[in-house]
């Protein structure tokens, strides 16, 4: 399902600031999680390529998003090679994310006009990613490389940088305000935004409510 009507993915991520990161092998459950996040104000969502058949789930998920969550930018994460990148671009991904920098993925995304956020853990890696044309770089694992202070220190000599941090991001006021104060463009948040017991019970309103609170703390 190729996508030809481009949306301003970077603009969406910058304006909302929180990108949930999620994987599940059940497409119907994944749809409910995405919808719950959307109802809570989330407008960018990363579905990770971490399980067998992930691409099949993504195909169903993006059709659902286009129909039911029209303001949502849906991306694919854990993209580690050119073939996988091409597959998800063909399926309609609005952006791609990696835990590391993969030069060939950057080239493919540039060719197709798809934002690519590669994982970086140092200033050298961030600059390399920027040289590859990556506007929004991912710092990962953010907590291990220095947390909010790392971002603040990077933005001193590289004030033009747009950074999305994943790892050590928690759905609490103290944590999210600290990340926001660092100057980070966005944060990615995984399992702590989707407690297993909440997902298992189908309490989608709880997820929507937590998303709304997190957006308020980060952007407040």
Domain ranges of the chain: 9-219
Distance CA 197, CA 218 (A): 25
Instruction: Kindly report the backbone phi and psi dihedral angles of residue 23, in degrees, each rounded to the nearest multiple of 5, phi listed first.
Output: -145, 140
pLDDT for 7? 77
Query: Which of 110, 118, 124 has its CA nearest to residue 139?
Result: 118
Residue 52: predicted pLDDT:
86
Does residue 43 contact residue 16 with C-beta atoms inside 8 Å?
yes
Backbone angles phi, psi at 73, to 5 degrees: -95, 120
Q: What CATH homologous superfamily does 9-219 map to?
A: Aldolase class I (3.20.20.70)
pTM: 0.95
What pLDDT was estimated at residue 6? 61
Residues in the chain with pLDDT values less than 50? 1-5
Residue 189's pLDDT is what?
97
């Amino acid at each position: 399902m190729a996508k030809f009507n481009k949306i301003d993915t970077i603009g969406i991520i910058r304006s909302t600031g929180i990108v949930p990161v999620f994987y599940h092998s059940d497409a119907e459950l994944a749809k409910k999680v995405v919808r719950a996040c959307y109802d809570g104000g989330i407008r960018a969502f990363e579905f990770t390529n971490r399980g067998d058949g992930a691409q099949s789930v993504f195909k169903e998920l993006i059709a659902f998003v286009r129909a039911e969550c029209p303001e949502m930018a849906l991306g694919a994460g854990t993209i580690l090679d050119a073939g996988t990148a091409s597959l998800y671009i063909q399926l309609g991904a609005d952006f791609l994310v990696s835990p590391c920098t993969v030069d060939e993925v950057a080239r493919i995304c540039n060719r197709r006009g798809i934002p690519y956020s590669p994982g970086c853990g140092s200033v050298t890696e961030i600059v390399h990613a920027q040289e590859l044309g990556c506007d929004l770089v991912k710092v990962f694992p953010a907590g291990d490389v220095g947390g909010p202070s790392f971002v603040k220190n990077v933005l001193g000599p590289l004030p033009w940088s747009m950074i999305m941090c994943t790892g050590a991001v928690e759905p609490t006021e103290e944590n999210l305000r600290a990340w926001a104060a660092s100057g980070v463009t966005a944060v990615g948040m995984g399992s702590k935004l989707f407690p297993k017991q909440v997902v298992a019970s189908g309490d989608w309103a709880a997820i929507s409510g937590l998303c709304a609170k997190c957006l308020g703390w980060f952007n407040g």
